Amino acid sequence: MNARYTSYCQVADLADSQDFLTQIRHHLYQNPELSFKEIATSELVASLTPHWFPVAQYFPASLQVESQRL
């Protein structure tokens, strides 16, 4: 495989997370939001980001996005 297209995650790597990912998908489909007004979806992703990408906690505060209720 060309190094340019290196994959960091294979489908088989997600097998242990299948139930968890299915729960997230069901939650998102049961709680739809209008385009560009995805407040709850943004909050869900933000709450899960440190779990999935621990390095995200080291981003400068200027690059971190906070959700704001309109």
Check whether 66 has a pLDDT greater than 60: no
CA 29, CA 25: separation in Å to the nearest integer? 6
- Which of 50, 52, 42, 44 lies closest to 9 in space, CA to CA? 52
In the predicted model, what is the mean pLDDT of residues 21-42? 92
Q: Which residue has the higher pLDDT, 25 or 17?
A: 25
pTM for the model: 0.57
**pLDDT class of 31 with cuts at 50, 70, 90:** very high
